[in-house]
Chain A
Amino acid sequence: MTEQLIEALLDGDHRALARTITKIENRSPGYRDLVSELHAHTGHADVIGITGSPGAGKSTLVDKLAKAYRDQDLTVGVIAIDPSSPFTGGAVLGDRIRMASNVGDMDVFFRSMSARGTLGGLSTATTDAVKALDAFGKDKILVETVGAGQNEIDIVRTADTVTVLVPPGSGDDVQMLKAGILEIADLFVVNKADLPGSDRTVQELREMLGMRDRETRGHHGVGTPGMNDAVERNDGDWTPPIVETVANDGTGVDDLLDALADHRDHLESSGQLEARTRSRYAAEIRQLLREDANALLAEELDARGGLDAFVQQVLDRESDPYSVADELVAPIEECVRERRND
């Protein structure tokens, strides 16, 4: 089943690609094998992330970018993520409505995704879905995040180039000092540049960029090192350009294309592309390790009669959380050490 699906996908079957992404999203049995198999065929696509606040014009801009790449005879994959309901898990996925320029063009593969409860602006399945599009042979993959505010920065774990849309009137210069989404931009787009206040927004972004201390930036990635998912972004030689666009009528899209191409060249010539890819894979492995270790522990916990009994012991002061953790992990630790010494 998996083999057939992979074969059909590599053969250019749209439905196989769609079904593969569904399996990844649903974490259907066998999806891990599927993604493992796909990996060997990936590494060719240029992955561009588009993020910004709700209504900033992400979908419309993605539509225009997709069209522009198609005009260059490149194939395009799009993944657009919308939020899911915290109550029912349901979602209305409305990004597709904006894809007016690519109607009937099957070489733009557009897939809507629900965040399925994830809060970082992507779904947990997004990275793997990007792999499916990459293996399928898409030249450009555009990933549009959930409408993001200040802290939804998961896109750095998936995209080679992160584009942050800032609508005019996004707040004063203090907003620009804040950590988070503005730090992850490889380029800024001030969309709706025909609206009043856009000059000022451009000016404030420019001032913010001027204040960046390249020395310190050179040594820090996003977050802190260690067993977390921090992604290295120490790119001191690149100053994010600010592009003004009006996505609705296509104004500035050519400038954006140039800026994206410049960044791609920079990534390749500076060795950053490899560095970023490395750090992304490292983060991915760490995350999988954590998930798998968690699953293993959950299994062990079930086998020992579930968590409730331990909670009761803690409540009755017969045990404490640390001892319980030690007790549960000890047999696993023992096994691992024994195997390692063999």
Chain B
Amino acid sequence: MSADEAQRTIRCLVAKVGLDGHDRGAHVIARAFRDAGFEVVYSGLHRSPDEIVQAAVQEDVDVLGISILSGAHNTLVPKVIDGLAEYGALEDTLLIVGGIVPEEDREDLREMGVAEVFGPGASMKEMIAYVREHAPER
């Protein structure tokens, strides 16, 4: 029946984690995702990894985008990943990281389960296309 047909909308959580007060980028991305037709939950500033996990699980997002400009990604991202795994949410959540992440750390993040890292200069178009292509099938 037509009413049953997929009205699937990609849901994203744009998250700011840790002691990092720079959210201009996160706002710009939230807006761009909105304009791409996604539903964007914005976490607000200074969230702990636990809060991010709680939000990701309750909101059942397809995509979790973590914005970190503080350099603490090697500490914070693993905590989020562990939390997602605890709730069985790691497998079907597309995890992306944006911000200032040195080249040598990126591979480690990928091995932990981050799908992609976007640094300065990444284009919105590119990110939106990436999310559309890789949002998990459920």
Contact = CB atoms under 8 A, between A and B. Distances in A.
B40 A93 contact: yes
A27 B5 contact: yes
Nearest to B62: A22
B59 to A, nearest CB: 6
A90 B42 CA distance: 13
Contact of A116 (B6, B7, B43): B7
A27 B57 contact: no
Contacts of B55: 96, 110
A21 B33 CA distance: 22
A2 to B, nearest CB: 13
A104 B8 CA distance: 29
Contacts, number: 103
Contact of A91 (B5, B34, B51, B138): B34
B51 A90 contact: no
A18 interface: yes
- Counting chain B residues whose Cβ lies within 8 A of the other chain, the interface size class is 35 or more
B60 A19 contact: yes
Interface string A84-96: 1100111111101
B50 interface: yes
A112 B42 CA distance: 10
Nearest to A106: B54
A103 B52 CA distance: 10
Interface in B86-138: 87-89, 138
A104 B51 contact: yes
A29 interface: yes
A61 to B, nearest CB: 17
Interface in B35-64: 35-44, 48, 50-51, 54-55, 57-60
Interface string A101-118: 001101001111010100
A186 B11 CA distance: 34
Interface in B1-30: 1-9, 11, 30
B88 to A, nearest CB: 6
A88 B35 contact: yes
A18 B59 contact: yes
Given A18-B58, A26-B8, A295-B1, A92 B30 contact: yes
Majority SS at the chain A contact face: mixed
B42 A94 contact: yes
A92 B31 contact: yes
B92 to A, nearest CB: 10
Contacts of A85: 34-35, 37
A90 B3 contact: no
Given A90-B37, A116-B7, A295-B2, A97 B51 contact: no
Contacts of A89: 9, 37
Nearest to B27: A92
B41 A112 contact: yes
Contacts of B39: 84, 90-91, 93, 112, 114
Interface of B: 1-9, 11, 30-31, 33-44, 48, 50-51, 54-55, 57-60, 87-89, 138
Interface of A: 14-15, 18-19, 21-22, 25-29, 31-32, 84-85, 88-94, 96-97, 103-104, 106, 109-112, 114, 116, 291-292, 295, 298-299
Given A27-B7, A90-B38, A94-B41, 4 more contacts: A26-B7, A27-B6, A88-B35, A103-B51
Instruction: Give the 5 A-B residue pairs with the shortest CB-CB distance, closest first.
Output: A97-B44, A18-B60, A90-B34, A88-B37, A90-B37
